Structure 1
Amino acid sequence: MNPNLRRLVITAIVALMAGFAGVGLGKLAFDHAPRQPTLHEVIHNELRLTSDQLGRIEGLETDFRTRRQALELDMRAANAELASAIREEHGYGPRVTNAVERFHHAMGELQTETIRHVFAMREVLTPEQKEVFDNTVVSALTAEQQ
């Protein structure tokens, strides 16, 4: 191998390794933001569900997953419709308006279904579990405001 090419390759490898080391050290030094547990983590790891509660919640989660996937498909279809309308109209015309409204409707339905799902899971819990659950939900909804 040509000595100049060899030096260039060695320099590139050392620079790459230094970059990875810098990223790793930066994460260790600066990535200490506390992360709130997700609602799913709280339900499955902290609430100490009975087998009956777990079975009921798993059934609710399965039903919700199916509904959520259908609504996400609606949102993707609305986005595709919006892309087509923008390509055709080149402005905020009737097709763009309809596609935006369709997307907002699907997004609103997803939010409504999510809230219903949260309340359905809550009904499975004991009063003590509901307190932890409620605090987790409120914390998640206000996290950016804190």
Structure 2
Amino acid sequence: MKTPNLVIAVLLAALAGYLGAIAADRWLIPERNGSLHQFVHEELVLTAEQNTRLETLEARYAVERSALEASVRASNARLAQAMDEEHAYGPEVRAAIDEVHARLGELQKATVQHVFDMREILEPEQQTIFDRQVSEALTSKPHN
């Protein structure tokens, strides 16, 4: 491989990783001014039982999220490899992009399910406040 091609391949791989990170940040529940978990703990007055249930949910989701994020990183690595091998928007690159999108979709679905799991432990008044926070986070401009 010629040096210019190697430089282009490395730049394209870096760009693919960067775009994947931006997509994950934008498409997942944005966490403005801290996490949604932080909001629930600090802004909602939870009972001891709610705190215990929330901690259990958070621990379970942390494991799931970690595994899903690893699968996104692995898919981005396969995309970088396909870009390096094809040096064009060919069938391997398209397939790798589809895989990245699928993994990001799985992560987003798990995140949204976790949000609903968190909501379920709240009282109706708390749910109203929580829903407003989630809606605001999803519709606000992404943070830089």
C-alpha deviation, 1:37, in angstroms? 5.5
Aligned pair count reads 111
TM-score, normalising length: structure 2: 0.73
Q: Quick one: distance in 2 between partners of 1:36 and 1:66?
A: 23
Q: Quick one: distance in 2 between partners of 1:105 and 1:62?
A: 24
Per-residue CA deviation, residues 14-55 of structure 1 (Å, 9 max, x unaligned), is xxxxxxxxxxxxxxxxxxxxx755422220111111111011
Q: Does 1:122 align with 2:119?
A: yes
C-alpha deviation, 1:112, in angstroms? 0.5
Q: Quick one: distance in 2 between partners of 1:88 and 1:105?
A: 22
Q: Quick one: distance in 2 between partners of 1:129 and 1:97?
A: 44
- Percentage identity across paired residues of the two chains: 49
C-alpha deviation, 1:98, in angstroms? 1.4
TM-score, normalising length: structure 1: 0.72
1:39 aligns to what? 36
Q: Quick one: distance in 2 between partners of 1:40 and 1:79?
A: 28
2:47 aligns to what? 50
C-alpha deviation, 1:142, in angstroms? 1.1
Higher relative contact order (CA 8 A, sep 6+): 2
C-alpha deviation, 1:95, in angstroms? 1.3
Q: Quick one: distance in 2 between partners of 1:67 and 1:38?
A: 17
